[in-house]
Amino acid sequence: MSTQASKKAGKGGAIVVTSLMLFSMFFGAGNLIFPPVLGASAGENFAPALIGFLITGVALPIMAIFALARTGSDIRSLAGRGGAVFGVVFPALVYLSIGAFYAVPRTATVSYTMFATPVFGVDSQLSLVVFALIFFAVSLAICLNPSSIVDALGKFLTPALVLLLALLVVLSLFTLTADPAPATEDYASAPFVGGFLQGYFTMDSLAGLAFGIILVSSLKHKGLERGKSLMSGVAFASLIAGLLLALVYLGLGWMGRSIENGQGYEDGAALLSDAAHQVLGQAGAWIFGLIVLLACLTTAVGLLSATSEFFSRMVPAMPYRLWLMIFTVIGFLISTLGLSSVLAIAAPILGFLYPPAITLIILSVLEPLLVKPLVSQAVTPAEMGRRLSLTFKLALFASVIWAALMTLNSLGWGSSVIEPLIGWSPWHALDLGWVVPTLVLAVLGYILDFTRKNREVPAVASTAA
């Protein structure tokens, strides 16, 4: 009995540790800077905006991990449900977006804004270039010669950052007492949708697809066997990490809502840095900036390593170190544009990637329910994939095409032709016009899958006879 109790305690401890690891994987530069902006911009409409943000910033990433855990897949095999081309192109774009083309440059610009500027009082193009050069040189050195320093930082960094954030949020409740401002244009008429779209920028749904398999492997390594035990472990670890993320987002958003002239800040990094200075003084801002710097550095190391490893497997002719140097140089060059420019680059990229990502996640989670009418017995995830082949392919096709047209239209490329093609769709004005066409083609694909299944049954019976 005591042995069983110790095993349960050991598994429980493993789940808690793994949930903290998952939280640290998700919690990066974007998780710091976007909630304060949402709180300031939503103002009086803070509650519905935050709920929308939590759906794309917390719920969808957790669903992505569930989908990967249930199928035992990585992002390439899961994306393969949309066809051979989608199975290669979509994972590559996800890794590029969470790597050198957006998330990695963001780590450098956020750490510059929240550490170098408030601590050393520098704010010029030259100082940004010098800081970014040092930042990426250190990141490259760690990636080329990985050692226990990254693990050591990770063990102490995440708890320290969470504790400091908790202290900052609690003190801000008594220090930052400005009345919420009227909601800005994006949050005045549809605050929920505004928060939903703002949650794209955390990129955690894409990160969940890319790194969710790490959580599954970690729990397997800690003794949780595949099946019900593993799924329960994934569920508990994901929910703990999701709850921590939600609490942090709530606190950071409330700070943005309560700081004086919150809507006057250029970005969330400047807002949060100023809030830390108001609440904790110069010393507190210095310590907070240092922890943010270290958090961004370890995040950059992880993203550069993962992206380089992915592309070295995809293109074996180019080794890991060559990919690493290429992505480090790209990240450095983009980061020198400044935080506002980096965020501007992200909008069209995320606007294109998120519709197919959301479609893939939701269909993968609902798959066991959808496949039940098509079979009379339990089937493997691979068999489910064959049963719902057209459901996935048609839905993902619709989401990709619509997302591409929406992105081109938002950039003003061919709008005179594209707008009449897509403007009729419900919620088009809210940047959610892809939802209905995707749903329609998903239903059509399901009907075709169901029809194909009914044609197969007589054929099998005839062969048996």
Closest CA relative to residue 96, chosen from 355, 323, 362, 269: 323
**Do residues 344 and 118 touch, judged by C-beta distance below 8 A?**
no
* Cα 259 from Cα 179, distance rounded (Å): 8
**Do residues 154 and 319 touch, judged by C-beta distance below 8 A?**
no
Q: Which residue has the higher pLDDT, 216 or 142?
A: 142
Q: Which residue has the tokens 């492997």?
A: 217
* Cα 429 from Cα 190, distance rounded (Å): 11
**Do residues 387 and 375 touch, judged by C-beta distance below 8 A?**
yes
pLDDT of residue 163: 81
Cα dihedral value 8, 13, 15, 16, nearest 10: 140
pLDDT at 221 over 50: yes
Q: Which of 155-169, 307-321, 376-390 has the lowest mean pLDDT?
A: 376-390
Q: How confident is the model at residue 464 (pLDDT cuts 50, 70, 90)?
A: very low
Average pLDDT for 120-138: 92
pLDDT at 216 over 60: yes
Average pLDDT for 24-41: 84
Q: Which residue has the tokens 């995040």?
A: 299
**Do residues 218 and 11 touch, judged by C-beta distance below 8 A?**
no
Q: How confident is the model at residue 461 (pLDDT cuts 50, 70, 90)?
A: very low
pLDDT of residue 127: 93
Token reading at 404? 């591409």
* Cα 237 from Cα 441, distance rounded (Å): 34
**Do residues 164 and 288 touch, judged by C-beta distance below 8 A?**
yes
Q: DSSP 3-state assignment of 177?
A: coil
Q: Which residue has the higher pLDDT, 30 or 252?
A: 252
Tell me: the pLDDT tens digits for 441-458?
Answer: 999 999 998 887 665 544
Average pLDDT for 265-280: 83
Q: Which of 85-99, 227-241, 426-440 has the lowest mean pLDDT?
A: 227-241
Tell me how many helices (H) and strands (E) the chain has. Answer: 21, 0
Q: Which residue has the tokens 């102490």?
A: 156
Q: Which residue has the tokens 């905006």?
A: 49
pLDDT of residue 377: 56
Mean pLDDT score of the chain: 82
pLDDT at 226 over 70: no
* Cα 252 from Cα 273, distance rounded (Å): 12
* Percent of all residues in the chain with a pLDDT value above 90, rounded to a whole number: 32
Tell me: the pLDDT tens digits for 384-437?
Answer: 656 788 999 999 999 999 999 999 998 888 889 999 999 999 989 888 999 999
Q: How confident is the model at residue 222 (pLDDT cuts 50, 70, 90)?
A: low
Closest CA relative to residue 186, chosen from 431, 435, 434, 433: 431
pLDDT at 83 over 60: yes
* 11-15, 333-337, 377-381: which is most confident: 333-337
Q: How confident is the model at residue 152 (pLDDT cuts 50, 70, 90)?
A: low
* 117-126, 133-142, 205-214, 227-236: which is most confident: 133-142
* Cα 357 from Cα 142, distance rounded (Å): 31
**Do residues 225 and 14 touch, judged by C-beta distance below 8 A?**
no
DSSP tag of 115: I
**Do residues 26 and 58 touch, judged by C-beta distance below 8 A?**
no
pLDDT of residue 49: 95
Which structural domains are found in the chain, ordered by start?
13-337 (1.20.1740.10), 351-465 (no CATH)
Model confidence, pTM? 0.82
Q: Which residue has the higher pLDDT, 212 or 39?
A: 39
**How many angstroms from the chain centroid is the CA of residue 29?**
11
* Cα 23 from Cα 277, distance rounded (Å): 26
**Do residues 326 and 93 touch, judged by C-beta distance below 8 A?**
no
Q: Residues in the chain, how many?
A: 465
Q: How confident is the model at residue 327 (pLDDT cuts 50, 70, 90)?
A: very high
* Cα 135 from Cα 141, distance rounded (Å): 10
Tell me: the pLDDT tens digits for 355-384?
Answer: 999 999 999 888 888 877 666 555 555 556
Amino acid letter, 178: A
Query: How is the chain split among helix, strand and coil, in percent rounded to 5?
Result: 85, 0, 15
